[in-house]
Amino acid sequence: MYFELSEEQKMIRQAARDFAQTELKPGVIERDEHQKFPAEQIKKLGELGFLGMMVSPQYGGSGMDAISYVLVMEELSKIDASASVVVSVNNSLVCYGLEKYGSEEQKQKYLIPLAKGEKIGAFCLSEPEAGSDATSQRTTAIDMGDHYLLNGTKNWITNGSSASTYLVMAQTDASKGSHGINALIVEKGIEGFTIGAKENKMGIRGSDTHSLMFNDVKVPKENRIGEDGFGFKFAMSTLEGGRIGIAAQALGIASGALELAVQYAKERTAFGKTLANLQAIQFKLADMATDIEAARLLCLRAAWLKDNGKPYGQASAMAKLFASETAMKTTIEAVQVHGGYGFVKEYHVERLMRDAKITQIYEGTSEIQKFVISREVLK
């Protein structure tokens, strides 16, 4: 296998790295402290083409590959996972779903401004009583002829208040089970659509996570994505790509923590020598680096499969499972390397540790990833 990145991919990675250092790092602790959405930074990411990376230039995107997407997600997540999750959702859930399955009219109206970064999207699947169980949608979309009447509540929605375009999964015919679910495009500001209070989260606190309420919202039939009953397949297909983005986010959190641990180990002295010269610290760093490299290869493999039109569902689940567990383990160890300073906000590692936990939960918990993987293994 050939592991060398192209010159273009290296340039894209460097651009993301420079942006993270110059635009995201200043103020990242304050944004975390005050749960402040990085609106200015997200606007600049859109101007750089990072909010529609894999969308065809025909629809306002940058036309990049999934490998470049992984590289960008890793670099941004080293510094600010609250910003990178916006990039992840807009790219791999919203833009991908619209480009692959949307009608030409939907692409012209919704995809182009999303891909250009002029607007932000949200993917609305989770519910109070149907988180990982996507077949048990309580939100309903009753067919009224020329429109659907949408009622229900969605939980844990990333970009909940900052988005303008929402892809909402809803049950139209419960008797059909998963075949009775539809995916609808809902615009912000439509009558009957309200946004709940912002969740006060442990990590990725700059990301705006909200509940959404729909009360007799009239959604035009032309806003349905695909044929009647296609919503479940739409959600499952889209989530496969979403797992690559979250895996890359977890990878970035882990590699950012390692970089900080290495820097600190080289500077801090104890017992007459730097921490980097203590074997116990060396062994920690070696384990961290090995796990991160394995996670990176899993992420790049899943992205390569996607780029080459090959099945990537199992690969993306493996990448998400291993990278998220690596992020959790690595950030805990990075705090340990820092000792008491690791518990202090200004050293960044405690925030990375808090951010790491969510990567084991969203886009399906670790248990869900194991189910996806084992299903393929047992075939």
325-343 pLDDT, tens per residue? 999 999 999 999 999 999 9
pLDDT computed for residue 130 by the predictor = 72
Name the band, by pLDDT with cuts 50, 70 and 90, for residue 271.
confident
For tokens 């990590």, what's the residue? Answer: 203
**pTM, 2 dp:** 0.96
Is the pLDDT reported for residue 251 higher than 90?
yes
Average pLDDT over the chain, rounded to an integer: 96
Q: What is the CATH number of domain 239-378?
A: 1.20.140.10
Point out the residues that are catalytic.
363
pLDDT computed for residue 379 by the predictor = 86
Is the pLDDT reported for residue 1 higher than 70?
no
CATH class of 7-120: mainly alpha
Name the band, by pLDDT with cuts 50, 70 and 90, for residue 188.
very high
248 touches 81 (CB < 8 A): no
Contacts of 52 (CB under 8 A, 6+ apart): 46, 59, 60, 61, 62, 90, 91, 95, 114, 115, 116, 117
- CA 194 to chain centroid: 23
d(CA 355, CA 311): 30
247 touches 316 (CB < 8 A): yes
**Residues 225-243, mean pLDDT to the nearest whole number:** 95
CATH class of 122-231: mainly beta
23 touches 39 (CB < 8 A): no
The tens digit of pLDDT for each residue in 125-164 reads: 999 877 666 777 899 999 999 999 999 999 999 999 999 9
pLDDT computed for residue 363 by the predictor = 80
Same fold yes or no, 122-231 and 239-378: no
Share of the chain above pLDDT 70, in %: 99
Is the pLDDT reported for residue 368 higher than 70?
yes
pLDDT computed for residue 132 by the predictor = 60
| Domain residue extents for the chain | 7-120, 122-231, 239-378
**Residues 351-370, mean pLDDT to the nearest whole number:** 93
Is the pLDDT reported for residue 208 higher than 90?
yes
* Torsion angles phi and psi, residue 209, rounded to 5: -110, 125
- 185: which strand partners? 167
Name the band, by pLDDT with cuts 50, 70 and 90, for residue 364.
confident
Is the pLDDT reported for residue 90 higher than 70?
yes
Residue from 204, 193, 243 nearest 93 by CA:
243
